Amino acid sequence: MNTEYFSTPRTPKNYQNTFVCYNCNQPGHKARDCYKTPHKLKQCFQCHRYGHIAQDCTTPNYQFQYTNNTGKSMNHRKAPASQVVQKVFPDVRQTSARSSSNPNTQTRKSTVKHISSDQRIKAHRGNHNTHLEVLANELFCDIFQYLSIGDLLKAFYELNSRFKALVLGHSCLYHLDFDSISKSDLITIFQQHIPLIKNQIVSVRVSDRNYAMKQTKLLVLHGLNLRNFDQLRSFTLCHVRCEQTMDTIMLALSRLSHVTHLKIIKCHSSFNYQESTKLSNIIWSLPKLTHVYLDTEQYKFYCPEKQSLSLEYVAIVGHRCLLHEIARLLTKTPRLCGLSIRHCDLNDNQFFSAPVLSMTTLKLYDIRSRPMLMNLLQTMNNLHHLTVETFYNNFDGYQWEEIITNYLPKLRVFRLKMDIQYIGIMNNEEQTDILLDSFRTHFWLDEHQWFVRCHRKLQLTHSDILLYTVPLLFKNINIDTMRCPYKSTCPTDNI
């Protein structure tokens, strides 16, 4: 407003206390007739009037969309204020208070007390409900794939009838990962939600890593029968240390007829030969299982007595496997395409000569026996992907080139890590350069473009050599050796 309008004082008109001046806050006249110096005017963003701000506005706010008793969504401008507040804040008490600034003021203000954070979230949802409604159901099904089951149910299940039906609909598939869910939420999900979406669950991950809340016991306590999950394709079990719980899980595993992927990670139950063989037989008896990952430390894996015609990829990470166990494993898994094992026995001198034509991917870790490695590679002529981690086996680039050329003609991906010690007259930098030069032939640099990096840590009596292909994809690394300067066969990688 123009302040020149107030420059000349004028006699205020008497409106018989009908109006309140927004300039001096006195009844009986309007702001345009006020004789006092005008203040900086404020405009309310709710009613668009001057003289106050939105938080002091006495005009009811109908910005929330509400639903009538018939289930139809009504226009938010037509909603009575009492219904709006009751819909958005059902547990909130409303009290009316007169303005304390002037006893003659007839203004009534509505004061809302004890508004919790959940109620504010509901108000925020209602304010933006129209924006969500315009999105297609297919888009929400894609979004649901990236949310944990706890966040999904909290955010969408009780939003409105459309999203509740969408969560329960058959077009959405769910991955249950209980690793980051509180105990109260987990019990609620077990009791209320899982029975409604059991036919849409494709993967389950259960972990006992949190000692205060053992999820496997809660699973058994609430009678969660995995056999009722008709669409279950993947099951992961982590950090189980109770033998009784493990026995119960083993019984449940035998009923998972549709599972294709199974992982048992860091389960430290002490199994004897009979229990270990029983677990292996259960796994190898699953009719549709294609991938199994066993990462155990205190439990020794024994080869199964039953044969699996569906298994294609097997990873046994937690303990060592002897060569005769590997040979027996291959006979019990005739369709095996990928194998990942750990071997650290220097006295394993057994051999097998039967070719393994189905094998295309092989990962060998902690290899310490040179004869065992040579014998294993000579029987797998169809390998496309080879990962090898050796300790104290002094293979150079010429020897690896000969092995690959003679026995692995189809190899396309090669990952190598070697830990070597040079003692005595070999403990010098020149010997390290000779090793590195053996990986600089046409075979390595031009034909396959496999580059290696070499670190050397000088000790009093020996040198520790770490050589690996780049990029480095191995987890078991000596950090002290990695901090030492390195040389590389890649022209742009040397320092």
Q: Tens of pLDDT along 277-301?
A: 888 899 999 999 999 998 876 566 7
Q: How high is the mean pLDDT of the chain?
A: 76
- For the chain, the domain total comes to 1
Place of tokens 């000088």: 458
Q: What is the pLDDT of residue 349?
A: 66
Q: Which helix (H) or strand (E) holds 319?
A: strand 313-320
Mean pLDDT, residues 85-109 taken together: 40
Cα distances (angstroms) measured from residue 163 to each of 2, 153, 158, 232, 425:
52, 10, 8, 23, 74
Ranges 32-46, 146-160, 208-222: which has the least confidence: 208-222
- pLDDT range class, residue 111, cuts 50, 70, 90: very low
Q: What is the pLDDT of residue 196?
A: 80
Q: Would you say residue 451 lies in a domain?
A: yes
Q: Would you say residue 263 lies in a domain?
A: no
Q: Give pTM, 2 decimals.
A: 0.67
Q: Would you say residue 412 lies in a domain?
A: yes
Q: Would you say residue 420 lies in a domain?
A: yes
Residues 398, 405 contacting (CB under 8 angstroms): no
Q: Would you say residue 317 lies in a domain?
A: no
Residues 286, 310 contacting (CB under 8 angstroms): yes
Q: Would you say residue 240 lies in a domain?
A: no
Q: Token digits for 308?
A: 């699996």
Q: Which helix (H) or strand (E) holds 386?
A: strand 385-391
Q: Percentage of residues in the chain with pLDDT exceeding 70?
A: 70
Mean pLDDT, residues 35-53 taken together: 68
Q: Would you say residue 359 lies in a domain?
A: no
Q: Would you say residue 411 lies in a domain?
A: yes
The DSSP bridge partners found for residue 414 are 386
Q: What is the pLDDT of residue 104?
A: 43
Helix (H, G, I), strand (E, B) or coil at 454: strand
Residues 177, 151 contacting (CB under 8 angstroms): no
In the predicted model, is pLDDT for residue 70 greater than 50?
no
Q: Which domain holds residue 445?
A: 406-495
Q: Token digits for 53?
A: 């701000």
Mean pLDDT, residues 251-256 taken together: 80
Separation CA 480–CA 473 (nearest Å): 18
- pLDDT range class, residue 56, cuts 50, 70, 90: confident
